[in-house]
Structure 1
């Protein structure tokens, strides 16, 4: 279990580095449509979900991030003390830590981590259970549409069996605006992305950078969904959309559940509704190129350079010696 924990911490460090790069890019894209920033967050999710990566000469990740010497030293505690050591001149030497001094720390940290995951999973299950209970009380009003008194705010749900849930008291115009918004969520598989993202921060609950990343991703998700919904809307339709957004925000629950609709910063969303502009095809092409470039730079690991160490060892050998004895 400690080996798994050390490996997870290593992945978490890598994910945090990628997230910081995306945050920097996000600042550069402040005046651009939010779908660009939202798409970049998928790189962070991929980095956290993929168990291994290819090595390239152009990876942006530093070697200390990919292979932390401290974590490598701690993970070496599993090697028996009396095991014969074999010198490998091509390996970078790592300072070993006495297992008797790290065993208690690793075991304790692993235990604390496990308790944290269980607590968060329990909280998630309870929140999801409450949501499911509310959904059961809703009545079907159309194809994939449900409405109920117990529904506090609109949300989309499901991956294969997709549904939209609406609260009571909406006008025909408000209902049409909200349904259009939720259909965009379902088309982009946002409920699934939100669920996976929340499960990732549960697994990496000790990493504040990833919690911040999840929060920013949800904000960009909602802002980009607004933009997509209103891309052909008139000023009057945008005003009606903003009023509907304000109305449903009054009864919004204050819980953090991965499956529920997220209003995000209502003020920021309304401001963005009236300020975003359509993008040209040239801008779209440039972003696609940037996106795939970031995929290559951030989903790969740097190559391990062993040439220098091998040459050093070879110089130290006498003419009659070889590394094979």
Structure 2
């Protein structure tokens, strides 16, 4: 059973890699809003967890299937559902019957190693997160949901269900307007929840080096998307003030970011200063573009 689970997980990891590479290429288009790119990262994460997809001749997997892969039909009806099978190491799939005993032994051993490392990584990340939160129990309330602590070096939003903004000792004497705006945007966007999901996904697919690259870029785009969220509610003359607050925070106390990571300051400053609010037509066009990309990457080969 574990071996069979790992067989399909390995296939899902390959599908996620294909989708993630496409997102990596799209994020190189500088004019694409980071909020859109951030949403597109959902596609490879879905591929990491859901093995089943609707069959379509317009799927990217249909093109790939001409060279290396095939679909294992799960349901043939009005909507055809299938598994994408890149490995093609079995004669039957329900349950998986491998073509050779050597392949069965290989996947049996690999599945045990996989589950041990996946559980270990998940526990490590969980312990680190709990320890980070426990150290902030003695943070003193400043106002609203803003707290002050001498155990951190940069402002951050902590927690998922009852999030709070924590700033380092000494920051209470500063103008916190843009810091609070940034961290409040993280809370509004539920970024801490998405980070946790992303880290768990990477822990499950730890054997795939591309997944760790995707996680790094996802965390970077989380910060860039959050910056855009703040700027969408700011006037044109506030962009420079927001950028200066970011530089001031970075120079004095580390990185102006949330607890799991962020983008390089120079990249963020460049995007902040070049930010332009989207028109209704642009929003509609980008939405249609995202839907089309999602359809191409989430459907399976026909």
TM band (smaller chain): 0.7 to 0.9
Query: Aligned pair in 2 of structure 1 residues 297, 236: CA closer, same or farther (>3 Å)?
Result: closer
Q: Provide the secondary structure at the position in 1 that maps to 2:293.
A: helix
Q: Does the CA contact (< 8 Å) of 1:54 and 1:301 recur in 2?
A: yes
CA RMSD in angstroms comes to 2.6
Equivalent position of 1:311 in the other structure: none
Q: Provide the secondary structure at the position in 2 that maps to 1:153.
A: coil
Equivalent position of 2:178 in the other structure: 177
Determine the C-alpha separation between the residues in 2 that align with 1:163 and 1:268: 27
Comparing 62-71 with 273-282, greater Cα deviation is found at: 62-71
Q: Which protein has the bigger strand share?
A: 2
Equivalent position of 2:34 in the other structure: 34
Say yes or no: does 1:68 pair with 2:67.
Answer: no
Where structure 2 has 5 or more consecutive residues not aligned to the other structure, the ranges are 71-83
Determine the C-alpha separation between the residues in 1 that align with 2:90 and 2:18: 18
Q: Does the CA contact (< 8 Å) of 1:33 and 1:277 recur in 2?
A: no
Equivalent position of 1:151 in the other structure: 152
Where structure 1 has 5 or more consecutive residues not aligned to the other structure, the ranges are 80-95, 254-258, 304-325
Q: TM-score, normalised by structure 1?
A: 0.77
Q: How many residues align?
A: 281
Equivalent position of 2:79 in the other structure: none
Equivalent position of 2:200 in the other structure: 199
Equivalent position of 2:99 in the other structure: 97
CA shift, 1:41, in A, is 1.0
Equivalent position of 1:286 in the other structure: 285
CA displacement 1:75-130 (0-9 Å, x = unmatched): 79964xxxxxxxxxxxxxxxx6321x224322221222123213312321231132
Report which of the two structures shows the higher radius of gyration computed on alpha carbons. Answer: 1
Comparing 5-14 with 211-220, greater Cα deviation is found at: 211-220
Equivalent position of 2:15 in the other structure: 14
Equivalent position of 2:118 in the other structure: 117
Comparing 293-302 with 193-202, greater Cα deviation is found at: 293-302
Equivalent position of 1:263 in the other structure: 262
Q: TM-score, normalised by structure 2?
A: 0.83
CA shift, 1:173, in A, is 5.2
CA shift, 1:51, in A, is 4.2
CA shift, 1:232, in A, is 4.8
CA shift, 1:191, in A, is 1.0
Q: Provide the secondary structure at the position in 2 that maps to 1:136.
A: coil
CA displacement 1:171-229 (0-9 Å, x = unmatched): 65542111100111111111111111111011001112121111111111111211221
